[in-house]
Amino acid sequence: MKNENSIAKILPVLFGFFIMGFCDVVGITVIHVKEDLLGNYSPEFRDTLSNLIPVALFSMFLLFSIPTGMLMNKIGRKKTVLLSNIITIAAMFIPLIEYSFTMSLVAFALLGIANTILQVSLNPLLNNVVQGDKLTSVLTAGQFVKAISSFLGPFIAAFAASILGNWQYIFPIYAVVTLISTIWLLSVPIQEEAFTNKASTFSEVFSLLKDKTILSLFLGIVFVVGVDVGINTASPKILMERSGLNSIEAGYGPSMYFAFRTAGAFIGAILLAKFSSVGIFRIITTIALIALISLLFAADKIVLFALFAIIGLSIANVFSIIFSLALQARPDKTNEISGLMITGVFGGAIIPFIMGISSDLWGSQIGSVSIILLCTVYLLYSAYRLPGNSVSRR
């Protein structure tokens, strides 16, 4: 009976990871907004403008990660997760009320706020319903659920376009799923322990960047999220530009990437239990770099899909490796390091924006791929800067 009660509490929390994956619909949205709403703009500005959508979303991680931690200490983890769901539902209805470029930015800014709140609060809430050595496996399951959500996004958009008549109906579908998640979580009582520790301030958290190792790893988070969001947003454009696919068909590019990123996470979990994380970090970033160099020149549809798969497979574990290395570097500042690394997710805002400018100046997606390539060069540099089995303090 105790085990049944535990599962009953775990499942609605675990389902929250599916909602967390909604932010990855930004890749599909960018290509549709460019096609639907920016046709009257000069071609040299369309990528720059459309890539403001991931900027609106991921810049919220910079602004709201640390304040969310402070809020969570006041109202509790469950209420914080529920708040994120309410904001997500509101964001999903904005494109239906008014489908314009400005309102798309507003919608994804709200989604970014909601996703930031969810990412900061959901993992600690899971800790309230899972104890001991089971927590790691359940957290892995949560990341798998999130990956499934990311993978399904283009297929849901394709279903909405072909069956329901408009790709935008993905948003009310997501709103209904979020509502189900909210009701499910509300129906389950979760006991939260009293929190008495003082929340860190902005200055206390960002002062950790004075440590050169922490700064290097923080930049690694910025750039790996930039690569992740960059491939998500650029892959449909690359397929349309080089293979002549329409926006719906090109939307399967991100799905290929997310499918292999999911597989890479499971393979990485096995390898990381046996081999040095730094050694794996070096190998997978080298593979990603080779794939991205190939992506500069590839034009065949099958080759492009294969390269997206290789990049997804190789980049899948970089975030978790960097995160764990940062925690090992300063075990006395675990909470502060965690908040700082989540703040680094704002790389998903600045890198795609620079990609848009680069592709507009270049006149093709070679500009975007070049920026992603430079991010990967830094990741490889960071990987070889670390000693083999530990993090050096400098």
pLDDT at residue 35 in the model:
78
Of the listed ranges 34-38, 143-147, 200-204, the one predicted with least confidence: 200-204
72 token code pair: 């969570």
Name residues whose C-beta falls within 8 Å of residue 388's C-beta, 6 or more positions apart in sequence: 276, 278, 279
Residue 131 pLDDT grade (very low, low, confident, very high; cuts 50, 70, 90): low
Residues 293-319 have a mean pLDDT of 92
| Mean pLDDT of the 250-279 span | 82
Specify the amino acid at residue 206. Answer: F
Cα angle at 263 between 323 and 381, to 5 degrees? Answer: 40
pLDDT score, position 140: 64
On the question of pLDDT at 183 being above 90, the answer is yes
Q: Which two tokens stand for residue 329?
A: 């570097």
- Looking at residue 135, what is its pLDDT? 56
Among 51-65, 146-160, 195-209, 296-310, whose mean pLDDT is lowest? 195-209
pLDDT band at 394 (very low <50, low <70, confident <90, very high): very low
* pLDDT cut 70: percent of the chain above it: 89
Residue ranges in 296-346 assigned as alpha helix (H): 301-315, 318-329, 334-343
Amino acid at residue number 70? M
pLDDT of res. 339: 72
Which of 74-88, 235-249, 336-350 reaches the highest mean pLDDT? 74-88
Is 265 within 8 Å of 21 (Cβ atoms)? no
Residue 287 has which token pair?
A: 């593979």
Cβ contacts of 289 within 8 Å, gap of 6 or more: 373, 376, 377, 380
Residue 203, token pair as written in the block:
């200055």
Query: Quick one: which of 267, 8, 60, 29 has its CA closest to 144?
Result: 267
Q: What pLDDT, in 10s, does the model give residues 32-69?
A: 887 777 766 555 567 778 778 888 888 898 888 888 87
> What are the CA-CA distances from residue 378 to residues 42, 156, 371, 383, 387 (Å)?
33, 35, 11, 9, 16
Q: How sure is the predictor about 229, in pLDDT bands with cuts at 50, 70 and 90?
A: confident
Angle at 345 between CA 341 and CA 346, to 5 degrees: 125
Per-residue pLDDT band for 96 (boundaries 50, 70, 90) equals confident
Q: Tell whether the model's pLDDT for residue 374 goes beyond 90.
A: yes
Q: 391 pLDDT exceeds 50?
A: no
CB atoms inside a 10 Å sphere around CB 317: 24
Q: 3-state class of 389 per DSSP?
A: coil
Structure confidence by residue, pLDDT tens digits, 333-355: 766 777 788 888 888 888 988 99
In angstroms, how far is the first alpha carbon of the chain from the final one? 52
Instruction: Give the C-alpha separation, 235 to 227, whole Å.
Output: 11
Return the domain boundaries, the chain. 1-199, 202-394
Determine the length of the chain: 394
Residue 73 CB neighbours (<10 A): 15
CATH superfamily for domain 1-199: MFS general substrate transporter like domains (1.20.1250.20)
Over range 375-388, report the average pLDDT: 88
CATH class given for the domain over 202-394: mainly alpha
202-394 shares the fold of 1-199? yes
Complete DSSP assignment for 93-159:
HHHHH--SHHHHHHHHHHHHHHHHHHHHHHHHHHHHH--TTHHHHHHHHHHHHHHHHHHHHHHHHHH
Q: What mean pLDDT do residues 14-22 have? A: 91
